[in-house]
């Protein structure tokens, strides 16, 4: 992909680049008050949704085009750059006519190649930075494909936004982070800036600080955070918005580690990691040898391979133990599911011999 910097004049090339503002533009007063408070705390890029994609009909679907005039006012009165979400060619046209400085494409739109192509066509020949959220489903190819459509249409100033992935099973997160996906995106397209959207990943304001820190520790370039002058009364995404004051507090506490530090410490740590990985393989091999012995026993006694009770016991016990050791129970369960799969395969080999 042919990419150019998304940095706007006057924005320092320093991590993290911050974009903040309400989920939705609700009223002119709410937009102006939030923007003024954010500008006073040093925020330079203001976000607000004008057209809101909602899961169910009947919710607040955004104020539409009149909201663009409020964003123009933000730009004039605070000097901030302004950005909004576009999902159709009509949105693109209206946003460009209103002088938006940056556009973003939402997760539902990114999941739809027809919509992405329509937006790409509408942006042909226009030089504006475009941020592309990951699709709602965890499909890196779809995410990259959407960005390629834009890039092929001539959009060179582009960045990705990691906003997590839908899952049926909502426990801690509103959208699962699945960090390995943006990490793989970085490996595939190293010069593409990546923003994290901790608001939509977490779904609760309490999670914003830790998710932002994680994103910084992974070397992300920026954060897009929902901030509202009166979060509890927000017309959309109330639980995940923070006041400009709280946002400033969160940003202030972030530890930004340099990407390139002296590599000596790192080499030492990598040696330790290699040792751990070695141990993991050896211990797994030992476990598989025992499984084959069990296979032999089961064959001699004409027993079935799968003993469901035992399997559930392992998953539960190890999930809980993993959690006590600071890992997510889901992660540990996934590992044990994979280990169990291989154990069954090894036993099958013995039994079918």
Q: Are 344 and 295 in contact (CB under 8 A)?
A: no
Picking from 174, 182, 165, 162, the residue whose alpha carbon sits closest to that of residue 206 is 174
Output the residue with the shortest Cβ distance to ligand PEP.
106
Output the residue with the shortest Cβ distance to Mn ion.
23
Q: Which neighbouring-strand residues pair with 222?
A: 17, 195
Provide, rounded to whole angstroms, the least separation between the CB of residue 6 and ligand PEP: 17
β pairing state of 17-21 and 81-85: unpaired
Which range, of 15-23, 125-133, 171-179, 209-217, touches Mn ion by CB under 5 A? 15-23
Site for Mn ion in 199-258 (CB under 5 A): 237
Q: Are 82 and 71 in contact (CB under 8 A)?
A: yes
Provide, rounded to whole angstroms, the least separation between the CB of residue 299 and ligand PEP: 53
Cβ proximity to ligand PEP: between 198 and 295 the closer is: 198
Cβ proximity to ligand PEP: between 236 and 347 the closer is: 236
Q: Which does 44 bind (CB under 5 to 8 A by kind): ligand PEP, Mn ion, none?
A: none
Which range, of 16-24, 25-33, 122-130, 166-174, touches Mn ion by CB under 5 A? 16-24
Regarding 197 and contact with Mn ion (CB under 5 A), the answer is no
Regarding 23 and contact with Mn ion (CB under 5 A), the answer is yes
> What Cα–Cα distance (Å) separates residue 13 from each residue in 9, 132, 191?
10, 20, 14
Query: CA–CA separation, 136 vs 129, rounded Å?
Result: 22
Q: Which does 219 bind (CB under 5 to 8 A by kind): Mn ion, ligand PEP, none?
A: none
Query: CA–CA separation, 330 vs 266, rounded Å?
Result: 29
Return residues touching ligand PEP (CB under 6 A): 23, 49, 53, 106-107, 133, 163, 200
User: 17-36 as b/e, with b when 16 or more CB fall inside 10 Å?
Assistant: bbbbbbbbbbeeebbbbbbb
Q: Which does 91 bind (CB under 5 to 8 A by kind): ligand PEP, Mn ion, none?
A: none
* 335's tokens: 């590992």
Provide, rounded to whole angstroms, the least separation between the CB of residue 237 and Mn ion: 4
Q: Are 159 and 176 in contact (CB under 8 A)?
A: no
Cβ proximity to ligand PEP: between 84 and 243 the closer is: 84
Provide, rounded to whole angstroms, the least separation between the CB of residue 25 and Mn ion: 12
Residues binding Mn ion (CB under 5 A) = 23, 237
């Amino acid at each position: 992909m042919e990419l150019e910097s998304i940095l706007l004049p006057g924005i320092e090339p320093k991590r993290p680049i911050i974009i903040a503002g309400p989920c939705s533009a609700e009223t002119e007063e709410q937009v102006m008050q939030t923007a003024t408070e954010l500008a006073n705390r040093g925020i330079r890029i203001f976000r607000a949704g004008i057209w809101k994609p909602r899961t169910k009909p009947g919710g607040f679907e955004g104020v539409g085009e009149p909201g663009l005039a409020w964003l123009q006012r933000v730009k004039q009165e605070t000097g901030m750059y302004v950005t909004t979400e576009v999902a159709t060619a009509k949105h693109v046209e209206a946003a460009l006519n209103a002088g938006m400085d940056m556009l973003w494409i939402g997760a539902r739109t990114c999941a739809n190649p027809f919509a992405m192509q329509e937006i790409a066509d509408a942006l042909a020949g226009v030089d504006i930075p475009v941020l592309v959220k990951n699709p709602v489903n965890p499909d890196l190819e779809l995410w990259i494909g959407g960005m390629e459509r834009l890039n092929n249409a001539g959009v060179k100033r582009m960045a990705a936004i990691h906003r997590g992935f839908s899952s049926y099973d909502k426990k801690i997160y509103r959208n699962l982070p699945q960090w390995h996906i943006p990490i793989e995106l970085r490996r595939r397209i190293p010069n593409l800036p990546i923003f994290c959207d901790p608001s939509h990943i977490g779904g609760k304001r309490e999670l914003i600080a830790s998710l932002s820190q994680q994103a910084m520790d992974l070397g992300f370039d920026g954060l897009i955070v929902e901030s509202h002058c009166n979060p509890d009364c927000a017309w959309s995404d109330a639980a995940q918005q923070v006041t400009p004051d709280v946002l400033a507090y969160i940003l202030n506490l972030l530890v930004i580690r340099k990407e390139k530090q002296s590599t000596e410490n790192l080499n030492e740590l990598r040696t330790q990691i290699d040792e751990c990985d070695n141990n993991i393989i050896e211990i797994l091999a030992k476990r598989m040898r025992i499984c084959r012995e069990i296979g032999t026993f089961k064959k001699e006694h004409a027993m079935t391979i799968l003993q469901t009770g035992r399997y559930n016991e392992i998953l539960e016990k190890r999930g809980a133990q993993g959690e006590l050791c600071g890992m997510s129970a889901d992660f540990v369960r996934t590992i044990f599911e994979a280990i169990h799969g291989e154990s069954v395969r090894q036993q099958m080999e013995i039994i079918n011999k």
